[in-house]
């Protein structure tokens, strides 16, 4: 990784290559001599013993990583002290999945033949052997779909593949007691009927059609007209959103906007159904963003130049009225997700909106289906690039906590390196470097875990709970996957970052 421009390559380049890349790659390959070569000669005997002990517990290492969480500015002589997490995932001698991880302080320095690790201080190691394992069976069960993007124009005048056009909705659309699956795949929607755990593609017979333009981004089932059937809302990019009425038995009919009362921004990224005004029917919140391929988020630390979020009140028949202004929504940040829960247990549903490129927003329900912006009062004070949000009782006290997934940079520590070019005008960097570094550091923190204090406020605890770093996180769900009565967190993550597809 080299930074091109007025700033020359700095110490972060070889340090990142050695500690974050070469060292874990050698461990994954099981190449003892290659691992030892990462260390300075005085440390190589220790490195050999350490590596032999690490690998002895594995029959195979499938993944290894050494994430640099922080690094001090270079000391005299050029050495750099880093605080890292070393982790190995694989299987043990009995074929059981095994995860080993350890916090390490690793010092690296330039020596005669390049950069080498010169000191290691290891903390306590932890191991996990999951009692419950999953087996991937999508194809065997008939759930097969491929994402296709119609692409969109970018600022260079080129056609760019849209990355955020995949999703899934689950619901019993035909009333047979089994959950069916709708896959959102860019330029197409595919509905799979559940037939006793096997799935059959019934899209063509269902009446669910994909428009000839635009991209499908998200989908949600809900009984919008209180007739006992699951209706369907689909959020779209570059065209109108879709609303399908379930006619019964899993047969759908597209409802035009002139009949439904909905209006579209052309930039919907998320939505949710909930009875916010407690009148017995489901209202609809639509979270909108903007096209980052064409529009630059402005200002970059808390962008507000996206399309307004929308609130549609249901009259009980599946017809909606735009009530955005009267309920107090309409924020123009770059929204990506929303979550709903009664966070203060006062009997009405509150709303959290996760935003990319800036601050999230929390709305407290006044009790009549209107909202007040209580973001700061509730303790949501951080900026970042949030991707998803979900309420769940994560500490077992009976109150809804909140998990927000976001971007965590493998190279955030480079901000502390002299000469690192910051994403701000030169004059601001010169005058306010510490403030710029602090905001960029915050933006790439990663995931946030907010524990409910049971007084209408939250405490952010992602670092002590070790839930903040998952690379470039996208969507998270909370579930008790092993039936031990504790709520667990599953997060989908990853992004292309260069030649190494596993870098994130």
pLDDT in tens, 102-135: 999 999 999 888 999 999 999 999 998 877 888 9
444: burial class by Cβ within 10 Å (0-12, 13-18, 19+)? middle
b/e burial code for range 192-208 (CB count within 10 A of at least 16 → b)? bbbeeeebebbbeebbb
Residues 6+ apart with CB under 8 A from 118: 39, 40, 42, 43, 79, 107, 108, 109, 111
Residue with tokens 């350490």: 50
Per-residue pLDDT for 426 more than 80? no
Q: What is the mean pLDDT of residues 156-164?
A: 86
Q: What is the pLDDT of residue 314?
A: 98
Q: What is the mean pLDDT of residues 174-185?
A: 96
Q: What is the mean pLDDT of residues 296-319?
A: 94
pLDDT band at 31, cuts 50/70/90?
Answer: very high
Per-residue pLDDT for 345 more than 70? yes
pLDDT band at 163, cuts 50/70/90?
Answer: confident
Residues 6+ apart with CB under 8 A from 34: 26
CB 261 within 8 A of CB 283: no
* pTM exceeding 0.75: yes
């Amino acid at each position: 990784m080299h930074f091109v421009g007025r700033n020359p390559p700095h110490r972060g380049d070889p340090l990142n290559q050695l500690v974050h890349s070469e060292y874990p790659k050698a461990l994954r390959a099981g190449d003892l001599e290659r691992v030892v070569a990462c260390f300075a000669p005085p440390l190589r005997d220790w490195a050999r013993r350490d590596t032999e002990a690490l690998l002895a517990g594995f029959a195979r290492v499938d993944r290894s990583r050494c994430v640099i969480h922080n690094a001090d500015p270079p000391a005299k002589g050029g050495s750099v002290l880093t605080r890292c997490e070393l982790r190995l995932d694989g299987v043990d001698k009995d074929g059981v999945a095994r995860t080993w991880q350890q916090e390490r302080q690793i010092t690296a320095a330039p020596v005669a033949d390049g950069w080498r690790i010169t000191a290691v201080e290891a903390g306590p190691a932890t191991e996990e052997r999951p009692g419950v394992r999953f087996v991937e069976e999508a194809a065997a069960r008939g759930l097969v779909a491929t994402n296709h993007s119609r692409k969109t124009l970018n600022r260079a005048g080129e056609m760019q593949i849209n990355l955020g056009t995949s999703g899934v909705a689950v619901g019993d659309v035909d009333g047979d007691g089994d959950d069916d699956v709708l896959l959102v795949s860019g330029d197409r929607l595919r509905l799979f009927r559940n037939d006793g755990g096997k799935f059959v593609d019934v899209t063509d017979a269902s009446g669910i059609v994909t428009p000839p333009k635009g991209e499908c981004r998200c989908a949600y089932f809900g009984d919008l007209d209180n007739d006992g059937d699951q209706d369907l809302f689909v959020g779209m990019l570059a065209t109108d959103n879709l609303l399908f009425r379930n006619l019964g038995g899993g047969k759908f009919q597209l409802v035009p906007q002139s009949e439904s009362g909905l209006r579209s921004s052309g930039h919907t990224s998320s939505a949710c159904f909930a009875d916010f005004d407690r009148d017995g029917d489901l209202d609809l919140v639509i979270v909108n963003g903007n096209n980052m391929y064409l529009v630059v988020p402005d200002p970059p630390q808390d962008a507000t130049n996206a399309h307004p979020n929308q609130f549609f009140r249901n009259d009980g028949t599946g017809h909606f009225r735009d009530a955005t202004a009267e309920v107090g929504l309409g924020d123009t940040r770059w929204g990506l997700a929303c979550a709903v829960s009664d966070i203060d247990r006062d009997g009405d549903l509150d709303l959290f909106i996760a935003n990319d490129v800036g601050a999230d927003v929390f709305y407290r329900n006044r009790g009549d289906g209107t909202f007040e912006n209580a973001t700061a009062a509730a303790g949501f004070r951080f900026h970042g690039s949030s991707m998803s949000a979900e309420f769940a009782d994560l500490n077992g006290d009976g109150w809804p906590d909140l998990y927000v997934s976001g971007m965590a940079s493998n190279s955030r520590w480079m901000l502390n390196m002299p000469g690192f070019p910051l994403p701000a005008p030169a004059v601001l960097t010169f005058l306010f470097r510490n403030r710029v570094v602090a905001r960029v550091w915050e933006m790439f923190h990663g995931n946030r875990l907010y524990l409910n204090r049971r007084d209408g406020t939250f405490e952010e605890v992602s670092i002590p709970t070790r839930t903040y770093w998952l690379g470039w996180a996208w969507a998270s769900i909370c579930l008790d996957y092993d039936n031990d009565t504790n709520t667990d967190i599953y997060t989908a993550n990853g992004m292309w970052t260069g030649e190494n597809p596993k870098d994130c």
